[in-house]
Structure 1
Amino acid sequence: MSNISTSTQVTTNFNSGTDNMLGRNMMRSAMKAPYLEREDEHMLALRWRDDQDSVAMHKIAVSHMRLVISIAGKFKHFKLPLGDMVQEGYVGLLEAAARFDPEREVRFSTYATWWIRASIQDYILRNWSIVRGGTSSAQKALFFNLRRLRTKLAAEDRTMTKQDIYRNISEKLGVSVSDVETMDFRFSTTDNSLSAPMIGDDENSGSKMDSLVDNHPLQDELVEDEIDGQRRSKWLHDALQILNERELQIIRYRRLNDEGATLEALGEEMGISKERVRQIEARALEKLRNCLLSVNTVDAYQV
């Protein structure tokens, strides 16, 4: 279909209100929307293609909002507002509705899934700080497939070293080992820009939005988290061995303690100034960082 002006107009209207209230309203409406039988879907698609009937296209789109919510929910681990991702997914849904050919031997939901997912992924790439500046097709593939491939490779062969895993992923995705290494390190680092709370009309709005999708983790996500936790614990344990006694003491009291000792308190205990404590801590953290990223320490990363 060549004429998608109606889709563009509706898309603009939804983009103009980017707050979470709109996202929540869309999700509530989706729960009430009726499913379309195959014959009804075909008839509505014909009305849009042949007569540019925007009402028909709207009915197709609204009846598939559950699909948008389901797909958006699969990206929750990126910690972006669910309502915003639903809105972006709706943009993709409208594009799919405008382009759908009813003569194809495929249901609309199958066709629309690609458009919805692509729209949400583009939104994530625009808003996740760790990938800004690296949005080539290869970088996108790395961003969205790193965790899955890393888990799969580790589960298949638990003797693989960290560098073996990086090398395998780089070959599969056509990126450098350095790119894989850097992206994995960024994933393991807390991105504070993602921790802002969702804004709603009441204090429970976030949980209301989340309740519209399945919050139970998938089995592969549970396995991934377990493997990640085990591997990172061992990497940290091995890296700590390179620190001298004073550096290790400071890191343990400052970084590995729930309460986190102050520079002043540690300085008094160790008989040095708090500025000296800060310098030793900075040096120790740099050692740890270099150890965790260095290919020369790959043997220490074997799980």
Structure 2
Amino acid sequence: MTTASASTTALAPANPWALVPPLGNLDAYIAAVNRLPMLTYEEEQRYARQFKEHGDIEAAGRLVLSHLRLVVSIARQYLGYGLPHGDLIQEGNVGLMKAVKRFDPDQGVRLVSYAMHWIKAEIHEYILRNWRMVKMATTKAQRKLFFNLRSLKQGFKADAADTDTYRETLSEHEIDAVARQLKVKREEVIEMEARMAGGDVLLDPAPSEDGEQAFGPIAYLADAAHEPTAMLESRQREMLATDGIATALQTLDPRSRHIVEERWLKVNDDGSGGKTLHDLAAIYGVSAERIRQIEAAAMKKMKKALAQYA
């Protein structure tokens, strides 16, 4: 965040672009970046060209500042690892600055789509470097339970040294005994034992010997439902399914439009699909093959109209 702060200093006269003074408060930082204005496509292109062609650091700073809220949003998706939110944001900001440095405005994509991959890559790398540093227990009570539980389990193991009755996991009787001795709920004992038994898992496992990509936490860790690109794609699909279809239908002659509507856009009373080719052939007094030809030509024309609409 040091580079972003330097850019902010250069932009201090433009009041909306200035971050609040450092308060050592993450909530204040997040509130500040959420107040920064977003750039229009034209502004983004202008600043990107100024930086690419003239090395304008102030233009690069504006690109970085306008996307800091994106970093906060993405970093929030990785809080499940127990790593500090501020550190995740810090690493994401590094990825954002790398993205701005490499962004090419001539590629025809928005910076938000390009930067997302760099931000995630930097956060992933940080998680991989610190995976073994994730704290087993977070609160004081949990840390106390963690260490006492380990000691008690060692005692159970010593008591069973001369028999074959010892198991790595606690029995129901042992769980109740630990809960009474430590004055905690048995559910807390079960949860802590499960956390202690859990081993490290590769965030992004290497491909298997047969060349197939192994399935790891990276595949389901982040919630993609609220990613800007996913939201834009969903919005575009909805528009194509409503306004786009309606616009494409308007390009057809009445007979072709009626055939498409009866075949694909209407449902029978029994819940089944629309009319068959033979049903429509009987209505228009032609063969089913002729109806199929009209339908194929109409679909081709609609597809062309939808491509222009998109």
Which has the higher relative contact order, 1 or 2, with Cα contacts under 8 A spaced 6 or more apart?
A: 1
Same structural fold, with TM-score higher than 0.5 when normalized by the shorter chain: no
Structure of higher CA gyration radius? 2
TM-score by length of 1: 0.41
TM-score by length of 2: 0.41
